Amino acid sequence: MRKSLKSALSEPKVILAGGFILLLVIAAVFAPWLAPKDPLEQDLMLGTLPPAGYDGTEPGYWLGTDDLGRDVLSRLIHGSRTALIVAFVAAGLAALIGTMLGLLAGWYRGWVDVVISRLVDIWMAFPPVLLSILLVAVLGSGVHSVIAAIVIIDWTRFCRVVRSETMAQARMDYVTAAQTIGFPKAQILFSEILPNVAPVIVALLSLEMGIAVIVEAILSFVGLSVSSDTPTWGGMIAQGRAIIYQGWWVLVAPLVLLFLTVLAFNQLGDGLRRALDPMMRR
C-alpha cells in the first residue's frame, strides 16, 4: 500500500490534476465561507458588471456579475457542489455495479457471460445523452435523478472493460497456480484477479467522473437538473449564452472551469494507472 501511494505521489499528473481537484473539493465543501457574495442575491443596478481589471467594474466582483446582478465567482464556487456530488456518487455507483458484473462475466463465463453481455449490448444500443435526458424527464428533476440516470447508463462502460481485463488475467500463470493449489473460484477472483484489474478500474473511474460532470452540465443547460434557484455550471452556461454580447464572462467562466475539471479528472486517471499498474511502471 505504501509503495503504491509513493509511486502515485511521484507521478506529475497525479500531483497536478489531483491538486486541482482537491482545491475544487475544498471550495465546494467550504463554499458558504469562501464565496465572496450570496450566489442568489440579485441587484439589477449591478447587472453585467465586467470582471476585475475592466472599465466599469465594482470592487469585490472579481469575475463580474450576470444580467441579474449576481456574483459570477460565488455562483461558480457554489455550482461546484452539484458537479462534484454528481461526479463522485454517480461514478462510484456505476463503477461498483459495472465492476461486479464485469468480474462475474469474465471469470465464470458460460451462461453468466452470455446474459450479462447481451444486457450490455441492449443497453448500449440507446444514445446515452438522449437516454439520460429521457430518464431525468421521467424521474423528475433533481440531483438524485441525475445520479440515477448516469448510473443506469454508464455501468456498461465499466462492465465491458472489466470483463475484458478479467478474461485476460484469467489466462495468467498466477491464476493457474492458484487453481492448482485448490483456491476457491471466488477467492481467486477477489483476492488475485481484482487487485490486478484495479488500476484499470481506477483510471476508468476518474474518466467517468469527468463524464458525469459533463452530463450534469448538459442536463442543467436544458433545465433538467436541479432547480433553477441552485447555481450550476450548466445553468450558468445557458444564461451566459443568452447574454453573450452583453456579458461574455458569464459564459466563459463556467466553460473554462468545466473544461479544466474534466481535463483534471482525465489526467488524474491516466496518472494513477501509470503509477499503480506494475507493467506500466517498468
What digits encode the pLDDT tens for the residues 146-161? 898 889 888 998 999 9
Provide the residue type at 139 as one letter.
Answer: L
pLDDT averaged over every residue in the chain: 86
Give 85-127 pLDDT, tens digit per residue.
999 999 999 999 999 999 999 998 889 889 999 998 888 887 7
Residue 93 is classified by DSSP as H
Q: Which residue in 158, 160, 136, 131 sits closest to 148, CA to CA?
A: 136
Percent over 90 (pLDDT), the chain? 38
Number of domains in the chain: 1
Give the CATH number for residue 173. Answer: 1.10.3720.10
Q: What's the pLDDT score for residue 2?
A: 58
The reported pLDDT for the residue numbered 174 is 85
DSSP collapsed to 3 states, 23-68: HHHHHHHCHHHHCCCCCCCCCHHHCCCCCCCCCCCCCCCCCCECCC
Q: Which of 61-75, 127-141, 181-195, 218-232 has the highest mean pLDDT?
A: 61-75
Nearest to 249 by CA among 257, 260, 240, 258: 240
Q: With DSSP H G I counted as helix, E B as strand and the rest as coil, what are the percentages for the chain, rounded to 5?
A: 75, 0, 25
Q: Which three cell numbers stand for residue 259?
A: 473544461
Domain hosting residue 214, numbered range: 2-281
Which pTM value belongs to this model?
0.88
Look-up: residue for cell 479544466?
Answer: 260
Instruction: Please compute the mean of the pLDDT values over residues 49-53 and round it to a whole number.
Output: 86
The pLDDT of residue 279: 54
